[in-house]
Amino acid sequence: MWYLVTQRTMTECSPGELVFPDETWRRRCPQNGLCPTCGHVDRRRYPAPFDIVLQQAPEGQPCPRVEGTGVTIWRREVVEMVAEHLRDLAFGRCFLADGSELSRYVTCYSRDCVVIRGNRYSRYQTCPDCGTIVSHVKPGPQYLLRGDVGEGKVCQDAFCRLILPEAVVLSQPDLDGWDGDPYCPELVALEPLYVRDEPAVMA
């Protein structure tokens, strides 16, 4: 079993899963590190650091996604819990448009990303430029192919979300439900991902 690290909300008054990039920064592809075709991190530039510029500071969320970029940003405390398993990832910083650094958050990306798979109604798109495969998985069981995840190393999907093997999750019992900000209703959530040897055809 593997686990996708996301966040869940405990209230309807939530700032949501997304934060927004600075539009001037986003339009500067590929100088900003994003693929000009698909808008995801261009992993061909690994291990160069990837920095991002946001419209405003996140409201305490542990791992929000940045709208329209294929990037997830991370609270430092979350990353530090599993830091010893992230040595193969490249890290970067988060800024506001005025140049001030959001020191509580970092970016990280891996050389390659894995594909989260679902039922037969799910769709997969391959970028003709950088080769990133983005999956649009319909509700239902999600899984990984064993050949994609290798020998128990932490990996990422196309949105730079961490995918942790079970051994890492068990070593950090405080990760699931971590809440680093009492004023923020968003908590770390771990979504189970099954592993299969071959693609499944499910109804």
Q: Is the pLDDT of residue 7 over 70?
A: yes
Query: What's the pLDDT at 150?
Result: 78
Please tell me the predicted confidence (pLDDT) of residue 201.
66
**Gap between the Cα atoms of 187 and 48, Å rounded:** 30
- Round the CA-based radius of gyration of the chain to a whole number and report it: 16
**Lowest-confidence pick of 46-50, 94-98, 114-118:** 114-118
> What does the chain come to in residues?
203
Report percent pLDDT > 90 for the chain.
Answer: 75
Note whether 110 and 150 are within 8 A (CB).
Answer: no
Q: Among 155, 144, 143, 159, which residue's Cα sits nearest to residue 64?
A: 159
